[in-house]
Structure 1
Amino acid sequence: MFDETKESEKGGLGLAEKLALKSRTVLIYGEINHQLAQRTCSILLALAAESNERIKIIISSPGGHVESGDSIHDIIQYIETPITMIGSGWVASAGTHIFLAAPKEDRVALPNTRFLIHQPSGGAQGSTEDILIQTEQVLKMKKRIAEHIAKATSNPIDKVLKDIERDFWMDCSEAEKYGIISRVIQTKSDI
């Protein structure tokens, strides 16, 4: 017999996700990693191939691997299907990077969502030369992420670079003022 729980644990879609996909809703929950990115990108590409009808993405994530977040972010911008991004719970770090892939007018949040922007962190190891190379790459990533946040939120790059020096948490009201979301929603009909 088909066990949805075991299928979901193996990276397959559980029953709830399959039902959500029928309404063209993609769920991004948990740590951003390669497995989640592959699954999310596959689903987005399949839904976009099926129809140009709007896709809703609900995200609640503490963040995770930057390049996995890049992959989802880039696929959201690659497909021509309109996306509505819905924040729920917390949208942090690489999760915020994914969230900002949608146009501002299509970025909304449920009332209790919190947002976090910050600079990337690394765990440099190895020889001095390797640590220097890794440090250079993290600095390039920091600049790229700051430029993306600045562009997506219409904030000056200098402000964003200052803000991401440390963890910068925002509630919905603060995120709206910052330009991360366009508005807070209460119900599905608010979209």
Structure 2
Amino acid sequence: MTNIMHDPMAALVPIVIEQSNRGERSFDIYSRLLRERIIFVTGQVEDHMASLIVAQLLFLESENPKKDIWMYINSPGGVVTAGMAIHDTMKYIRPQVGTVCIGQAASMGSFLLAAGEPGKRIALSNARIMVHQPSGGAQGMASDIEIQAKEILRIRRRLNDLYVKYTGQSLEAVERAMDRDTFLEADEAKAFGLVDEVFDRRPAAAESAEA
């Protein structure tokens, strides 16, 4: 079951009925899509959502370590450590994880989008992608504030290095883009290297491969 089921609107989630030789089985629509190796990353990236995404990735690896997983992202971003938990699990497991941006992928959402398997990072034509540097606040003694400031700078350097790796851009170009909120249309995100393809329809080759 995906993180969407944590939403108070879960009661409105459609139920799918399947017929088999064992009778009828019912699934919520997201659990049914999980059987097709599709995971949804929607809403704020936070610890509870990240734990559910990580669990789904590990489950799908146990089901078939050689078959691709597809992650559909529609997220405004969120907590860096929660996003890193998802990112590191994507890289840790054996299946390749493709990413698809629907709606928006901002902040940590754009980071997870870019972290998908090279050649399998997709944005739909009206998707919006936004990158920026991590933000945070601190309070307490001056020494504590200094420690927190150094940690934010360390995280920023690490994220910048990973964006360089995933986009092929220079560090200077990434730093310029990350300095403030930088909004990109799907084609601009492709040109920057955050995604590999922009689609408004599913390619025929993908349809035949899934048939």
| TM score, norm. by length of structure 1 | 0.91
Which ranges of structure 1 fall in alignment gaps of 5 or more residues? 1-6
Deviations 1:42-73 (A, max 9, x none): 00000011012111110000000000000000
Q: Bigger radius of gyration, 1 or 2?
A: 2
1:48 aligns to 2:74 (yes or no)? no
Alignment match of 1:160 (pick from 174, 177, 191): 174
* Aligned counterparts of 1:108 and 1:34: Cα–Cα separation in 2: 25
Aligned length: 183
Residue 105 of structure 1 corresponds to 119
In the TM superposition, residue 19 of structure 1 has moved relative to its aligned partner by 1.4
On the 8 A contact 2:160/2:174 being kept in 1, the answer is: yes
On the 8 A contact 1:54/1:82 being kept in 2, the answer is: yes
Letter in 2 for 1:18: S
Which ranges of structure 2 fall in alignment gaps of 5 or more residues? 14-27, 207-211
Structure 1 segment 142-161 matched on structure 2, within 5 A: 142-161=156-175
Residue 81 of structure 1 corresponds to 95
* Aligned counterparts of 2:197 and 2:203: Cα–Cα separation in 1: 13
Whose strand proportion is higher, 1 or 2?
2
Alignment match of 2:136 (pick from 122, 133, 150): 122
On the 8 A contact 2:126/2:185 being kept in 1, the answer is: yes
**What is the RMSD computed on CA atoms of the aligned residues?**
1.6
Q: Secondary structure of the residue that 1:104 maps to in structure 2?
A: coil
Deviations 1:67-118 (A, max 9, x none): 0000000000101101211001000101112112223311001111111111
* Aligned counterparts of 2:30 and 2:165: Cα–Cα separation in 1: 32
In the TM superposition, residue 126 of structure 1 has moved relative to its aligned partner by 1.2
Q: State the 4+ residue runs in structure 1 displaced beyond 6 angstroms.
A: none
Residue 174 of structure 1 corresponds to 188
Alignment match of 2:198 (pick from 181, 184, 191): 184
In the TM superposition, residue 158 of structure 1 has moved relative to its aligned partner by 1.2
1:25 aligns to 2:16 (yes or no)? no
Q: Secondary structure of the residue that 1:31 maps to in structure 2?
A: coil
* Aligned counterparts of 1:83 and 1:151: Cα–Cα separation in 2: 17
Percent identity of paired positions between Structure 1 and Structure 2: 30
In the TM superposition, residue 189 of structure 1 has moved relative to its aligned partner by 3.7
* Aligned counterparts of 2:153 and 2:7: Cα–Cα separation in 1: 35
Letter in 2 for 1:23: E
* Aligned counterparts of 2:201 and 2:95: Cα–Cα separation in 1: 23
Against the structure 1 CA distance between its residues 130 and 85, is the aligned structure 2 distance closer, same or farther, given a 3 Å change threshold? Answer: same
